[in-house]
Amino acid sequence: MTKKFLAMAAAALLASSGLVMAHTIAKKGMKADLVLMPKFLGILVFDQANQGAQEAHRELQNPGKLEFLGPTPENSVAGQIEILTTATTQGQDGIMISNNAGDQIAPAAKAARSKGMTVVTWDSPIPSAEGEQLFIAQVDFNETGTVMADMALNIIGAGGGEFAVLSASPDAANQNAWIAAMKEALKNPKYSAIKLVDVVYGDDQSEKSYNQALALVDKYPNLQLIMAPTTVGIAAAAKAMQDEGLCDKVKTSGLGLPAEMVSYTMNGCAPEFALWSFVDLGYLSYYATYLIATGQIEGIAGETFKAGRMGYYTIEKDPTRAEGLRVLMGPFTVYDQSNVEAASK
């Protein structure tokens, strides 16, 4: 008798907890005017993100509008703040920001939140998480450090050697986070053979990055690898090594677009590099923002939702920042000669 009762109680408990742990499936057709804001316009990866967002927009049959608005590269920081402020004035329901303004956008984001706007970041978060409800992280930022360290070890080999980092702008929050994560990762004795000798900045400009790559080679005669966690930097560094005939001695790696890097990977200048899908990132960001803006989820830790074709994602506390929630999208893809050509189509 007691056993039966216990069994029934257990079943009831399980059933009710199953209800509490329900995954939210997005209800289509609800209206939400949303804005997708990249760091700046004119760059392929952000267009890919827009592609993904538009795909999600169509799938969800949102009768509202999806605007793709971004500043010019010369005016990225001030421009992003302006677009966010204007979106608040226009009464948009939500905005998805790939943040290039660091914490400087926090006041505008807080103002937007106080007017009831949904503020979600993707690709690059607001470091202090102030004004931000959720960050859609393409990859775990700490993991980025490990992936870069692994690629470095793989390319340099067990014999050991020196390598340097060619980053974007010294103010870029995501690159800085990745480099910091990599420095942490390098403390592991597994990487004791490789040594990081310098971090230089190419400002995401071809000329600067190219010249910096050459300067690295001149400053550190034993350099074996240039790690560039920026698509502009990696392409410029690879070209520089190719032009100077240094590809045998100094390899290039980092985060790059298959389409831009395919020739360098096939000729050995950049044997290995990594990235994620920006299309998927845009798609996932749209789903998350739509769900929060239409009130279907609250945007708190523990909630799980289904993002269309990508499957289930859970909101969790972001372990790589002091504050903030995130949804972790997915794995890196490491490209080398075996898969880069297919990916570049």
Partner 1 sequence: MNVWKHLRSWEGFLGLVLLLTIAINAFNSDAFLSIDNQINLFSLSIEKVIIALIMAFIIINAEIDLSVASMMGLSACALGWLVDSGVGMPMALALCLIIGMAGGLFNGFWITFMKLPSLVVTLAMLIGFRGLARVLVEDRSIRVFPKWFEDLGQHPILGPFPLAVLIFFLLLLVAVGVLRFTGFGRYVYVIGINQDMARYSGIHVTRVKLILFTASGIISALAGILFAARLGSVRGDMGLGFELDIITMVLLGGVSIFGGSGSIFGVILSILIVLYLRNGMSLSNITGHLQTGVIGMLLIFSAMVPNLKSYWESLQARSS
Partner 2 sequence: MNALQGLRPEKLRELVLLLLIVAVLVFFSSMIENYLNARLFNRVSASVALMAVLAIGQTMVVLTRNIDLSVGSIVGFTAYFVGQQLSQNNEMHPVLAIVMAVGVGALMGGINGVLVAYCRIPSIIVTLGTMALYRTLLVEYSDAQTVLTVNLPRWLLNLPSLNVFSIDRLHLRVMVLGMIAVVVLFQILLRYTSFGRKLYAIGSNPEAARMAGFANQRIVLSAFLLCGALAGLTGFMFLARFGNITVVAGIGFELKSVAAVVVGGVNIFGGSGSVVGAFLGAALIDLLENSLIRWLQISEFWRDALLGLLILTSVATDSVIMKRFQGYWARKQAQAVPETQER
Among 26, 53, 62, 79, binds partner 1 (CB under 8 A): 79
Among 5, 74, 322, 345, binds partner 1 (CB under 8 A): 74
Among 150, 204, 280, 303, binds partner 2 (CB under 8 A): 204
Q: What does 173 bind: partner 2, partner 1, none (CB cut-off 5 to 8 Å by kind)? A: partner 1
Comparing CB distances to partner 2, the nearer of 194 and 216 is 216
Helices marked H in 157-230: 173-185, 206-219
Q: What does 206 bind: partner 1, partner 2, none (CB cut-off 5 to 8 Å by kind)? A: partner 2
Among 41, 215, 266, 310, binds partner 1 (CB under 8 A): 41
Among 24, 104, 154, 304, binds partner 1 (CB under 8 A): 104
Q: With binding defined as CB under 8 A, does residue 71 bind partner 1?
A: yes
Q: Beta strand 304-306 with 333-335: parallel, antiparallel or unpaired?
A: unpaired
Under 8 Å between Cβ of 252 and 270? yes
Q: Count the Cβ atoms, other than its own, within 10 Å of residue 168.
A: 23
Q: Residue 29 Cβ, how far from partner 2 at the closest point, in Å?
A: 30
State in Å, rounded, how far the first CA of the chain is from the last one.
67
Residue 198 burial (CB < 10 Å; 0-12/13-18/19+)?
A: middle
Angle at 306 (CA atoms; ends 109, 48), nearest 5 degrees: 60
Q: What does 103 bind: partner 2, partner 1, none (CB cut-off 5 to 8 Å by kind)? A: partner 1
- Residue 321's contacts (CB-CB under 8 Å, 6 or more residues apart) are 125, 127, 129
Q: Compute the distance between CA of residue 269 and CA of residue 200 in angstroms, rounded to an integer.
A: 20
Comparing CB distances to partner 1, the nearer of 42 and 157 is 42
Which positions lie near partner 1, rule CB under 8 A? 40-42, 67, 69-72, 74-75, 77-79, 81-83, 85-86, 89-91, 101-104, 106-107, 111, 127-128, 169-171, 173, 176, 201
